[in-house]
A and B are shown apart, each in its own frame.
Chain A
Amino acid sequence: MAEATSGTSVTTAAPLVSIRHLAKSYQRGAQTVPVLSDISLDIAEGDFIALMGPSGSGKSTLLNLIAGIDRPDSGELLVGGVDISELPEASLADWRAAHVGFIFQFYNLMPVLTAYENVELPLMLTRLGRAERRERVEMVLRMVNLGDRMDHYPSELSGGQQQRVAIARALITDPTLIVADEPTGDLDRTSATEILTMLQRLNADVGKTIIMVTHDAHAAEAAKSLVHLEKGELLQTERRQPGPRA
């Protein structure tokens, strides 16, 4: 049982992500700008959390810290029992490859690689052979309903399709955690709904832990828990079940 400044998820199992007194600030010229101050939070395994807050609240920074692509200035950050703030850079890269799947607002696909190759990319960090990689890529692309578009380049796909490729890429290494930064930010309403539904399915059926940053209330409705941040501080967490999709 972890205590926090405000409501935490109630669970008997050890939380997947355990954050204690996390702080982070940035240098802007001669000034030091604090972005996160004294954040403490637990995220249970299998949860689907939406980090919300106005611009400048620090939600993206928190996500970056949990995902291991940035380092906190102080505090404790345990993911799956590992204090990733203590890991040296090379080990952190290996850790990310094994434990984190990324979904970005602008998809961040390599324009010169096909959908198949983009999804295959994280597997190049493993020792799997070509045949094994093919098996997994095809499986995961079918999961996102893009089996017939494998050989298309991102420029030949719609926004929604590109994001599905990104989701496939995020799933391919079977990561512990999926982090999504404004996944529906660049999509129209229909595609956004599609993506959110997919994320919900991944969470409900496959049991993936998803941490999503969004400022869109509609997107937040898909999540099971909400965490509100403002000016670098945790305001409140709500736990609820997602409502039916419109």
Chain B
Amino acid sequence: MAIPLHYIARNVWARRLTTALTAGGLALVVFVFATMLMLDAGLKQTLVTTGERDNVVVIRKGAETEIQSAISRDQAAALEMHPAVALTTEGRPMASREAVVLISLTKTGYTTPSNVIIRGVSPLGVTMRPQIRLTEGRVFKPGSAEIIVGSSIAKGYGNVRIGDHIRFAQRDWTVVGHFDAGGSGFDSEIWGDIDQLMQSFRRTSYSSMVMRLSNADGFDKFRADIDVDPRLANEAKREQQFYSDQSKALSAFINILGLTLTTIFSVAAMIGAMITMYASVANRVGEIGTLRALGFQRNNVLMAFLIEAVLLGLVGGIAGLLCAALMQFASFSTTNFQTFADLSFRFLLTPGIILKTLLFSMAMGLIGGFLPALRASRLNIVDALRAR
């Protein structure tokens, strides 16, 4: 770099107001961009981490979500008997029969209710998901009207403290514990005993079955067997895959929305950068002429202004990123279109996002500053010197 970096940097600092305004505009775009990436990362983490690698979810063929699915008791029994299913130390199949229903609960601070998932699980259902940790209280006793509440529900809804009662299906259910599911989708659920829930909601069929295979590689055979069995109209998926598929639409929506918004905004911010850089060049025509007279090449001048523009972008990028980082303290919840249930997730800041964001902001500066830098490099020396 022939033209010294401190010359370039000090010029950015010398025009503080302009730099602040331009960088401010860039920072806002960066904020939207970064927040959108963080939202998507948070969503992915919530869903991808929902479930275990070794678990398999079985639902009715054709149903996309547990809400739409139904498995009869006979089918459930047949499924549990499959040789690929692991056994507990007592010799029972490691399977949880589950029923998923939605109830309406009102979030703190809102007037309209949201749909919350109540999941009835078999006694093994909790142990089959080691990611579930009890943070307060205890697990519900089988055969009782007790429920445990996921951390997002505990945070977002009013009367779900230990000892509180929620009324649904004409019964009062007592909250006996809170659990943390490591930021996965289960954090947005309430769990209770499968038989009690089925009875109260007058259901005769389960929504799904969750099973542990003794050998993870046995999945393909398991799936094939289930597929062709005429008694079962079911299909099997790995648990993590199942939950991740359920949010494809929401994830796609967030991505497209974010991408569209960011593109539009970035054009506006780049225009701002372009205006600023043109003015920067115009104000320093005399200096440019002097530098060229002293022997600096056109390319040196081009590089100097490109670097100035990139610095501008970097300043905006850091500012925007710092603001976006604050979003990590917020949580976001919305109804997943596919499952119809409320889903909470966080904004997740990863090193990858930091890198992408900074590159994006520097690129905005670079693109906005390119034409002005080109103009600077193309100045005629004599004209430039005369122009002061």
Which residues does A use to contact B, with CB under 8 Å?
Answer: 64, 67, 69-70, 89-90, 93-98, 100, 102, 104, 106, 108, 110-113, 117, 121-122, 124-125, 169
Whether, in the assembled complex, B355 has its beta carbon less than 8 Å from a beta carbon of chain A, the answer is: no
Choose one: A69, A95, A117, A124; the contact of B382 (CB below 8 Å): A69
Choose one: A64, A94, A106, A113; the contact of B295 (CB below 8 Å): A94
User: A69 to B381, Cβ gap below 8 A?
Assistant: yes
Q: How close is B302's CB to chain A, nearest CB, in angstroms?
A: 13
Q: How close is A91's CB to chain B, nearest CB, in angstroms?
A: 10
Give chain B residues whose Cβ lies under 8 Å from the Cβ of A100.
293, 295
Q: Mark B9-52, 1 if CB is under 8 A from A, else 0.
A: 01101100000000000000000000000000000000000000
Give chain A residues whose Cβ lies under 8 Å from the Cβ of B289.
108
Q: How close is A181's CB to chain B, nearest CB, in angstroms?
A: 8
Closest 3 CB pairs of A and B: A97-B295, A112-B10, A108-B290
Contacts A70-B382, A124-B2, A124-B3: A112 and B14 contacting too (C-beta < 8 A)? Answer: yes
Whether, in the assembled complex, B286 has its beta carbon less than 8 Å from a beta carbon of chain A, the answer is: yes
Instruction: Count residues on chain B whose CB falls below 8 Å from chain A CBs.
Output: 25
**Majority secondary structure of chain A interface residues (helix, strand, loop or mixed):** helix
8 A-B residue pairs with Cβ-Cβ distance under 8 Å, sorted by A, are: A69-B292, A93-B292, A95-B295, A98-B295, A102-B293, A102-B294, A113-B6, A117-B6
Whether, in the assembled complex, B161 has its beta carbon less than 8 Å from a beta carbon of chain A, the answer is: no
Q: How close is B15's CB to chain A, nearest CB, in angstroms?
A: 10
User: B7 to A96, Cβ gap below 8 A?
Assistant: no
Q: Which of A98, A121, A169 has the most CB of B within 10 A?
A: A121
Q: Mark B175-203, 1 if CB is under 8 A from A, else 0.
A: 00000000000000000000000000000
Give chain B residues whose Cβ lies under 8 Å from the Cβ of A121.
4, 7, 291, 294
Whether, in the assembled complex, B297 has its beta carbon less than 8 Å from a beta carbon of chain A, the answer is: yes
Whether, in the assembled complex, B332 has its beta carbon less than 8 Å from a beta carbon of chain A, the answer is: no
**Majority secondary structure of chain B interface residues (helix, strand, loop or mixed):** helix
Give chain A residues whose Cβ lies under 8 Å from the Cβ of B291.
121
Q: Which of B291, B292, B385, B388 has the most CB of A within 10 A?
A: B385
Whether, in the assembled complex, B287 has its beta carbon less than 8 Å from a beta carbon of chain A, the answer is: yes
Give chain A residues whose Cβ lies under 8 Å from the Cβ of B157.
none
Complex: A96 Cα to B292 Cα, angstroms: 9
User: A110 to B293, Cβ gap below 8 A?
Assistant: no
Specify the chain B residue showing the minimal Cβ separation from A108.
Answer: B290
Give chain A residues whose Cβ lies under 8 Å from the Cβ of B6.
113, 117
User: A104 to B14, Cβ gap below 8 A?
Assistant: no
Q: How close is A35's CB to chain B, nearest CB, in angstroms?
A: 11
Complex: A111 Cα to B14 Cα, angstroms: 9
Q: Which of B286, B294, B381 has the most CB of A within 10 A?
A: B294
Q: How close is B195's CB to chain A, nearest CB, in angstroms?
A: 78
Give chain A residues whose Cβ lies under 8 Å from the Cβ of B337.
none
User: B290 to A96, Cβ gap below 8 A?
Assistant: no
Complex: A72 Cα to B136 Cα, angstroms: 88
Whether, in the assembled complex, B248 has its beta carbon less than 8 Å from a beta carbon of chain A, the answer is: no
Q: How close is A185's CB to chain B, nearest CB, in angstroms?
A: 12
Contacts A94-B295, A112-B7: A125 and B287 contacting too (C-beta < 8 A)? Answer: no
Give chain A residues whose Cβ lies under 8 Å from the Cβ of B293.
67, 69, 96, 100, 102
Q: Which of B287, B295, B385 has the most CB of A within 10 A?
A: B295
Specify the chain B residue showing the minimal Cβ separation from A96.
Answer: B295
Whether, in the assembled complex, B223 has its beta carbon less than 8 Å from a beta carbon of chain A, the answer is: no
Whether, in the assembled complex, B168 has its beta carbon less than 8 Å from a beta carbon of chain A, the answer is: no
User: A108 to B295, Cβ gap below 8 A?
Assistant: no
What would 10 more interface pairs be, CB under 8 Å, given A112-B7, A113-B10? A64-B381, A69-B385, A70-B381, A93-B295, A93-B296, A110-B7, A110-B287, A124-B2, A124-B4, A169-B294
Specify the chain B residue showing the minimal Cβ separation from A175.
Answer: B295
Complex: A60 Cα to B39 Cα, angstroms: 63
Contacts A69-B381, A111-B14: A125 and B295 contacting too (C-beta < 8 A)? Answer: yes
Whether, in the assembled complex, B129 has its beta carbon less than 8 Å from a beta carbon of chain A, the answer is: no
Complex: A187 Cα to B297 Cα, angstroms: 31
Give chain B residues whose Cβ lies under 8 Å from the Cβ of A94.
295
